[in-house]
Amino acid sequence: NSRFYRRLYRALVDSESPTIDTIQPQAAMQKEIARFRPYQGERINSIEIYRANVFNGNYERRDLRHILNSLHVVTRESKIWRSLLFKEGEPLSAEVFALTEQYLRALSFLSDAHIVVTPSENGPGVDISVFTFDSWSISATIRSVPHSRRYVDLYDNNFVGWGNRLGIRTYVSYKGDKYGGNMLEYSISNLWGSFGDLNLIAGKGYEEHHYGVRWEKPFLLSSDFLGEVVAEDKEYYEMQTLADTM
């Protein structure tokens, strides 16, 4: 709607914020903090989230961009809410806002993100608009390993819009001398709003079997803590062919 595009224009033109996909250098971080500094301490009255598909626009049904948009599940609004380091009713912190924007841009299932602050029309305080832009999340790779074997990786970095990664690895041998097995991996980012990531893996390959659970908590705010919990069973074994066993 027109309100979306007005606020989007403000995000892209008025704020002059850079587009990045990874953690920003310190100098760029300070520039982002300076952009939010005029609103430091203002009460956050409202927060609105605007989510865009991979290709933002109206396309004909036969257009490849329309087809890809139809196949892609846009990131759920609840996932974006849990990724914010601020909430309604709190005083605005320029450092927290810059860090939140940085955190959103570093997520693998988003291509970009912008936070726009506008003074409230009905009194003191500010209104917040959060714009997120999805990236194409489904991909596949084929890689070769010794002894005429290959494995195929299929993965989705934004499984059904939850922002979680589902990966399936299938080991194949084009000489048919040994069954390779399969490996399943599921990663949950920002579990329950804790900003900790949970990784689950189970399966076997040519030279290993691996079953495990890993939870990692990165350091975001000065009040945060680092943490990691790991429980896994991983074993490597010598790869054999049928010829070796006859």
pLDDT at 49 over 80: yes
Q: Taking residues 141-154, report their average pLDDT.
A: 74
Q: 163 to each of 78, 96, 108, 171, 242, how far by Cα in Å?
A: 10, 22, 8, 26, 42
pTM above 0.85?
Answer: no
Question: If we measure between CA atoms, which residue out of 158, 116, 124 comes closest to residue 42?
Answer: 124
Question: If we measure between CA atoms, which residue out of 204, 143, 150, 209 comes closest to residue 175?
Answer: 150
pLDDT at 113 over 80: yes
Helices 94-106 & 26-36 angle (0-180, nearest 10):
130
Element (H, E) at 115: strand 110-119
Percent over 90 (pLDDT), the chain: 40
pLDDT in tens, 179-215: 578 889 999 988 888 888 899 998 887 677 778 888 8
pLDDT of residue 131: 96
pLDDT in tens, 155-176: 999 999 999 999 998 877 656 5
C-beta pairs of 159-165 under 8 Å, 24+ apart in sequence: 159/186, 160/73, 161/73, 161/74, 161/75, 161/76, 161/79, 162/76, 162/79, 162/188, 163/75, 163/76, 163/79, 163/83, 163/107, 163/109, 163/189, 163/190, 164/188, 164/189, 165/108, 165/189
Distance CA 83, CA 89 (A): 17
pLDDT at 68 over 70: yes
Look up residue 223 and give its two tokens: 């009040």
pLDDT at 222 over 60: no
Q: How confident is the model at residue 19 (pLDDT cuts 50, 70, 90)?
A: very low
Q: 46 to each of 42, 117, 155, how far by Cα in Å?
A: 12, 10, 36
